[in-house]
Structure 1
Amino acid sequence: MRTYLLSAILLLELLSPAIAQRRDYLVTIKTPYGPVQAVLFDQTPKHKANFVKLVKAHFYDGVLFHRVIPQFMIQGGDPKSKGAEAGAPLGSGDVGYKVPAEFHTGLFHRRGALAAARDNNPEKASSGCQFYIVQGKVYTDSTLAPQLKRAGRMPTDEQKNVYKTEGGTPWLDGNYTVFGQVISGLAAVDSIAVRPRNAANRPLSDVAMTMTVRKISKKKIRRRYGYVFPAF
């Protein structure tokens, strides 16, 4: 009996990494316009671990989407925005550290991309807490070409096609780290992006968020949201 028990334990230890790979984090951002669900990429492990850590610590609860630009993106994560006075300038808050850039050629600024904001540091290191979600717009060959000149890298033909069908913000590629993807709730992103705003692009009415994260099976994510995890 003891031999069988030890064999079973050993088998579980061998299988545990494979079992773990079948599950992943699902982030839910609750907004006044509905929930937004996103997955985080294994290809950007530093950003993934940092974001999960902050969400589990309830860092984002009560924080605002403080910068919104239609056909571009919605930005949040400034801790100074929690309880900020109406009209106060926002965007300078941080957590006292940066996350090293994690660029990956397979991850790009398509519609719904979850990416890290940053300042103008030469290493292109990310803010430790501020992020944005791409709303973007759809491009044609003629309108896409000048945007690619501003990008930090050239997208693949497949990625160009996504920009011409789904939309995105191609000039940010290679300049800001994409570390996740919205898989449900883009209508809420669209609603936030068009909120009336002031000259600094802060919404005139506060758009607060709360955030949760939990691990569920990738199979359930595929079935429920139709999302296929990247294999690169």
Structure 2
Amino acid sequence: MSNVFFDITIDGAEAGRITFKLYDDVTPKTARNFRELCTGQNGYGYKGSGFHRVIPQFMLQGGDFTNHNGTGGKSIYGEKFAGSPLDGHAGKNTNGSQFFITTVITDWLDGKHVVFGRAPSKKITISNSGTV
């Protein structure tokens, strides 16, 4: 498993780091795509992009670094690629750069989307609070 990360900001303020463990052995092509888009080693990638869809108690969706609205993105292999027998949510051979991070167990998605990594669970602590 390889590890990659996102440093997150909210309105310019640092909000923390999300670290992902990628399933290189199970989904090598998809994991490589995500890893290289995290590093930007091909001249493009996730840095500076946002989450274009957030659904509380379900998921965050991001990865559209071309149009920034959920309609774009591209993979390291070209615009779209075939990554696994499950392929992307938009149909067969439609993997690109978009991804989502689920925040709850989503059994109804089993067999419909490629799971290529995980964000390890960690204890979350409020380090400071107050009024502004």
Give the alignment's TM-score, normalised by structure 1.
0.43
- Identify which of 76, 99, 102 aligns with 2:84: 102
Count of matched residue pairs: 111
Question: CA shift at 1:127, angstroms?
Answer: 2.8
Question: CA shift at 1:36, angstroms?
Answer: 0.6
- Distance (whole Å) between structure 1 residues aligned to residue 61 and residue 95 of structure 2: 12
The residue number in structure 2 matching 1:134 is 102
Structure 1 counterpart of 2:97, which letter? C
- Distance (whole Å) between structure 2 residues aligned to residue 126 and residue 93 of structure 1: 12
**Native 8 Å contact 1:25 1:40 kept in 2:** yes
**Native 8 Å contact 1:37 1:184 kept in 2:** no
The residue number in structure 2 matching 1:118 is 89
- Distance (whole Å) between structure 1 residues aligned to residue 46 and residue 123 of structure 2: 19
- 1:29 paired to 2:11: no
The structure with the largest helix share of the pair is 1
The residue number in structure 2 matching 1:38 is 20
**Native 8 Å contact 1:102 1:177 kept in 2:** yes
Q: Which runs of 4+ in 1 moved over 3 A?
A: 184-187
Structure 2 counterpart of 1:94, which letter? G
- 1:175 paired to 2:112: yes
* Unmatched segments (≥5 aa) in structure 2: 10-14, 125-132
How has the CA–CA distance of structure 1 residues 181 and 118 changed in structure 2, closer, same or farther, with 3 Å as cutoff?
same
The residue number in structure 2 matching 1:52 is 35
Structure 1 counterpart of 2:102, which letter? V
- 1:72 paired to 2:62: no
- Distance (whole Å) between structure 1 residues aligned to residue 114 and residue 59 of structure 2: 14
Q: Which has the higher contact order (CA 8 A, sep 6+)?
A: 1
C-alpha RMSD of matched pairs (Å): 2.3
Give the alignment's TM-score, normalised by structure 2.
0.73
Give per-residue Cα distances to partners, 1:19-73, cap 9 Å, x unaligned. Answer: xxxxx42111111221111100020011011112222225111100110001110
Question: CA shift at 1:184, angstroms?
Answer: 4.8
The residue number in structure 2 matching 1:107 is none
How has the CA–CA distance of structure 1 residues 29 and 173 changed in structure 2, closer, same or farther, with 3 Å as cutoff?
same
Larger radius of gyration: 1
Identity among equivalent pairs (%): 38
